[in-house]
Every structure is written in C-alpha cells, then in structure tokens.
Amino acid sequence: MGAQVHGAQGFDAGKRSKIAFSEDAMNTVKKIMSRYPEGRTKSALIPVLHVAQAEFGGWLSPEVMDYVASVLKIEPIEVFEVASFYTMFNLKPVGKVVIEVCQTSSCWLNGAEDIVKYIEKKLNIKVGETSADGMFTLKVAECLGSCGTAPMLQAGASFHENLTYEKVDKILADYKADGRLRSYTDKDYKNTL
C-alpha cells in the first residue's frame, strides 16, 4: 500500500522495517493515544506526527508515515493526507532549525518582509531552502498568533518576537551554537520579546 500512496517520493519497504520509536518516544505516543477512546486512535494522529517528526530527523519520510499508521492502526493514506495538509509537517529533509517567519498583516506591516530578506542574505538561502551546513531551513508562515509583538518568527516550540536585525543575529547565533534539532515538541523552548 505504501508505494501506491507515496508514489514518486521514493518509498523503500526495506527502510520501513528499521524504523521504530525510541522507548521514551513510544511512551509519549502511548500516553497521547490513551487520551482517546478505544478504536479512536486516529484522533492522536497530529500529536503523534509531531513526536515522529522530532524523533526521525525533523521530517516525515514515507516510511515514517507508514510506521505511524501501523502504530495507530490506521491506513497509510490517512497519515499522508494529514501530514501533507498541514505546513507544520515537513515531507522532505530540513535543517536542524526550521525558521518560520510570520508574513500576515501585523508582521508584514511591521517589517517581516525585510526580516525574511535579511535572513535570506545572512544564510545565503531563499525561502524553502536549507543552509549549506544543514543547520537552518527558512519558511514563511501564515499568522502565528503574535500580532501584538510583530514581527516574529517561530523555531521549533520557541517564539521570537519584536524582531530586529540584531535580534535575528543573536537568535541564529544561539541556535547555531546549540546545534540541536529543534521541534514543536521541545520542552526547553524559550520565548523572547
């Protein structure tokens, strides 16, 4: 079924057998699944996809999506439909830190477009690309819900608001020095104003 669902994305059945959550991640997945009535495991799909994305390098390969389907006892196409609908899920490899700059009204009016251009120049990439060192991927996002502190960006679970070029320099330097994969499931997130 997987090869038909994922088509040109290069599904490899051999890789599927090697994919498994770590013990900690599986415990988190079981805890998430326990929130829902028996037979309703599909309801856990979005939070489980966040765990999978954090666990398997920041993106959801066809094999990972099929693995998630097997854990939740749903069809692979159901996972792909959700993962491909939401922009918070990455269906191709990304950098360790995905920088999402809000581009809607408040942020745009307060300079988000200039912030995006600044980051593009600083990292020598365009929106949708990953830096040569594999550290950063730059995206733009629709409203991230921080209109009063615009412009802002999100990296993993962290919000960085009231952006200036100097703040962007510090944010990028801090993530670069840290060197870790950042995700929506980070428990050590930090919000900066």
Tokens of 59: 């993106």
Q: How would you write the pLDDT of the chain (193 residues) with one tens digit per residue?
A: 343 344 444 545 555 558 999 999 999 999 999 999 988 989 999 999 999 999 999 999 999 999 999 999 999 999 999 999 998 999 999 999 999 999 999 999 999 999 999 999 999 999 999 999 999 999 999 999 999 999 999 999 999 999 999 999 999 999 999 999 998 888 887 777 7
Residues 6+ apart with CB under 8 A from 104: 142, 143
- For residues 32 and 44, give the distance between their C-alpha atoms in angstroms, rounded to a whole number: 6
Does this model's pTM top 0.75? My answer is: yes
- Alpha helices (runs of H) in 111-161, residue ranges in sequence order: 112-123
Class of domain 97-178: alpha beta
What is the DSSP annotation of 7-53?
GGGT--HHHHTT----HHHHHHHHHHHTTS-TT-GGGGHHHHHHHHH
- Write b or e for each residue in 9-22: b if 16 or more Cβ atoms lie within 10 A of its Cβ, otherwise e: bebeeeebeebebe
Residues 6+ apart with CB under 8 A from 34: none
Domain 2-85 architecture: Orthogonal Bundle (1.10)
In the chain, which segments carry CATH 1.10.10? 2-85
